């Protein structure tokens, strides 16, 4: 009999006892703003009456009840829970002892006591909630509920802070399991990939199967207590050369490459799966571990890179083109007029060049015209190189403006190559006029790149791209 089944058994008995009470409560809490009963029951779950096992069972039955609550009921529940803060008097006394400590050793002990005094009782409740079947997933989802409700509510914020700390301890990367996902994986797990893939939507099971072929790899982190729930996953294509187009990668009709002949691993999609784990990052570790695994398995693979979206480029470009800077070169201006003359119904030839450019990129159809493609390639590529390599986050100077660029740069990657017409989907057009970028993970330079970026704000950029960014 499994652990989970045992817990289920214990809880089941506990639940049967309280179920009639709870059915009432669930409706009451769902309907009314006040919940004195709920507070009483939370207190009940905290006290040791009947022993620790019984108290935990009471807490577990509270967690089960939470699942049945409607949105308002949950808000009430979370507020009632948040109210179980540390005892102010005890905290005050412990703070005094810290202040009064005369040497480091005394201070160390007083500090430890203060930490204990500060530990709010609600944390014990949260911990007890973990005991129900799927209890860890329950807490992850509860944090998602909380985040959606904070909105300035400091009590909820404090509870959320506690829960985040708890989850961060449990989900420390050293507790996670890296598992490969392939076409032999359980269907219910694969279904979750379909559900969680947000970068390049999985359209149907054939699309999914194509992403799990022998020239592909998919890896995810899992927590031992959530064995069927990926936390984050990465999709990798094994290719010859850095891939310049995501549509080509996802083409169902493309032949499958013998992976032994691949020289490059392209990380083309990374997805976080659990909203309730926001801010507890694994992406960094995932990429580096997968690089390790692949270089062990395939001695011929020398290049590890991404094929990444540039989500902020289009918006930045629009603001640049409506601003005061006059960012285009003479040559570019001429080329834009030429293309405008070719497509009179799209844009008047006599418009200002910035206006022409905005009009051209406004319509995805224009980019199917070969001449437009040719003309816009150097212009947009140059501006995008500048965006990635130079533009800074207005509120965090020294950091790249593009969030994906910032993620990879802070992981020690290098901005390697821009690819025109790399994502011709509507989404790709909306984000970056179809441009995508390869970030290069060179194991020998990751640390140095990271240091330069985080320490001095210097970005690792390939020579080609650096030149492009400087042009004009």
Catalytic residues: 308, 408
Query: Can you name the residues that pair with 217 across neighbouring β-strands?
Result: 236
Q: How far is the CB of 115 from its own copies (least distance, A)?
A: 5
Contact 308, 415 (CB under 8 A): no
Pick out residues in 56-85 that bind its own copies (CB under 8 A). Answer: 56, 82, 85
Distance CA 84, CA 66 (A): 17
Structure token pair of residue 50: 């009947």
Interaction mask 356-395, its own copies, x per CB under 8 A = ----------------------------------------
Contact range with its own copies by CB under 8 A, out of 7-15, 235-243, 249-257, 369-377: 7-15
Between CA 204 and CA 211, with CA 209 as vertex, the angle to 5 degrees is 100
Could you write out the DSSP letters of every residue in 275-287?
GGGTT---HHHHH
Interaction mask 15-44, its own copies, x per CB under 8 A = ------------------------------
The edge-to-edge listing of strands for the beta sheet with 177-180 is: 177-180, 216-222, 232-239, 264-272, 303-306, 436-440, 414-419
Closer residue to its own copies, CB minimum distance, 18 or 340: 18
Number of residues that bind its own copies (CB under 8 A): 91
Eight-state DSSP code of residue 14? H
Residue 111 lies near its own copies (rule: CB under 8 A): yes
Dihedral sign for Cα atoms in the order 113, 118, 124, 126: negative
Pick out residues in 257-316 that bind its own copies (CB under 8 A). Answer: 284-285, 288-289, 292-293, 296-297
Contact range with its own copies by CB under 8 A, out of 104-112, 333-341, 365-373, 430-438: 104-112
CA-closest candidate to residue 230, choices 288, 170, 286: 286
Pairing of strands 414-419, 396-400: unpaired
Q: How far is the CB of 299 from its own copies (least distance, A)?
A: 14
Q: How far is the CB of 364 from its own copies (least distance, A)?
A: 30
With b meaning 16 or more CB within 10 Å and e meaning fewer, what string describes 15-48? beebeeebeebbebbbeeeebebbbebbeebbee
Interaction mask 153-192, its own copies, x per CB under 8 A = xxx-xx--xx--xx--xx-xxxxxxxx---xxxxxx-xx-
Closer residue to its own copies, CB minimum distance, 48 or 344: 48
Q: How far is the CB of 371 from its own copies (least distance, A)?
A: 42
Closer residue to its own copies, CB minimum distance, 163 or 436: 163
Q: How far is the CB of 286 from its own copies (least distance, A)?
A: 10
Distance CA 468, CA 472 (A): 9
């Amino acid at each position: 009999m499994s652990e989970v089944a045992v817990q289920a058994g214990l809880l089941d008995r506990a639940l049967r006892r309280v179920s009639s009470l709870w059915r009432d409560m669930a409706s009451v809490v769902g309907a009314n703003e006040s919940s004195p009963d709920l507070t009483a029951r939370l207190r009940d779950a905290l006290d040791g009456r009947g022993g620790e096992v019984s108290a935990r069972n009471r807490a577990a039955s509270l967690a089960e009840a939470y699942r049945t609550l409607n949105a308002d009921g949950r808000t009430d529940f979370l507020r009632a829970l948040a109210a179980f803060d540390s005892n102010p008097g005890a905290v005050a006394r412990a703070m005094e002892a810290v202040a009064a400590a005369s040497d480091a050793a005394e201070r160390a002990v007083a500090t430890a006591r203060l930490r204990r005094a500060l530990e709010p009782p609600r944390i014990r409740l949260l911990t007890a909630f973990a005991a129900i079947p799927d209890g860890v997933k329950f807490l992850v989802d509860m944090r998602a509920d909380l985040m959606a409700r904070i909105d300035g509510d400091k009590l909820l914020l404090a509870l959320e802070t506690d829960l985040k700390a708890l989850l961060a301890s449990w989900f420390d990367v050293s507790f996670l399991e890296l598992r490969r996902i392939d076409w032999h994986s359980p269907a219910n797990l694969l279904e979750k990939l379909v559900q969680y893939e947000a970068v390049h939507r999985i359209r149907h099971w054939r699309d999914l199967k194509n992403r799990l072929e022998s020239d592909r790899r998919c890896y995810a982190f899992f927590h031992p207590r959530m064995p069927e729930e990926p936390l984050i996953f990465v999709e990798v294509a094994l290719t010859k050369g850095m891939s310049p187009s995501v549509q080509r990668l996802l083409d169902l009709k493309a032949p499958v490459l013998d992976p032994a002949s691949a020289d490059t691993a392209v990380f083309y999609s990374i997805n976080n799966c659990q909203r309730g784990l926001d801010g507890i990052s694994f992406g960094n570790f995932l990429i580096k571990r997968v690089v390790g695994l692949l270089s062990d398995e395939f001695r011929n693979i020398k290049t590890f890179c991404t094929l990444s979206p540039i989500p902020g480029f289009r918006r930045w470009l629009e603001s640049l083109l409506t601003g005061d800077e006059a960012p285009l070169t003479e040559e570019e201006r001429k080329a834009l007029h030429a293309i405008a003359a070719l497509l009179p119904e799209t844009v008047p030839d006599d418009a200002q060049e910035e206006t022409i450019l905005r009009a051209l990129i406004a319509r995805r159809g224009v980019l199917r015209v070969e001449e437009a493609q040719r003309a816009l390639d150097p212009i947009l590529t140059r501006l995008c190189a500048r965006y990635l390599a130079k533009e800074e986050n207005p509120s965090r100077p020294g950091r790249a403006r593009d969030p994906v660029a910032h993620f990879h740069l802070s992981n020690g990657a290098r901005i390697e190559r821009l690819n025109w017409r790399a994502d011709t989907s509507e989404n790709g057009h909306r984000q970056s006029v179809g441009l995508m970028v390869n970030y290069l993970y060179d194991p020998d330079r990751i640390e140095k790149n990271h240091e330069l970026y985080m320490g001095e704000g210097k970005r690792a950029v390939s020579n080609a791209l650096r030149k492009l960014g400087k042009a004009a």
